[in-house]
A = this chain, B = another copy of it.
Amino acid sequence: MKHKFGVKIMPREVILDTQGRAVEQTLKLNHLDVEMCRVGKYVELEIEGTADDARLKAEMIAKKVLHNPLIETYEVKGL
């Protein structure tokens, strides 16, 4: 059976998020001020196997391949 997962990868709080700052400034110029803006990535995966195996694989992919632990945090969710 196929299982779908969403992996959200965001820059760590302590990291200066240049993309987020750029979006924030663009919004300000357009009179759409926000208190905070951070930009990350979102990866959707579809994995074949049992529910447990698929989740383990998704977690491993997110941990080992998709995110850079020095500057990013990740979160895996079933979809």
Contacts and interface: CB of A to CB of B under 8 A. Distances in A.
Contacts of A71: none
A48 B35 contact: yes
B40 A41 contact: yes
A36 to B, nearest CB: 4
Interface residues of A, number: 31
Q: Dominant SS at the A interface? A: strand
A56 to B, nearest CB: 11
Interface in A1-56: 2, 6, 8-10, 20, 23, 26-27, 30, 32, 34-48
Given A2-B35, A27-B61, A32-B61, 8 more contacts: A10-B42, A23-B66, A34-B61, A37-B44, A37-B46, A39-B41, A40-B42, A41-B42
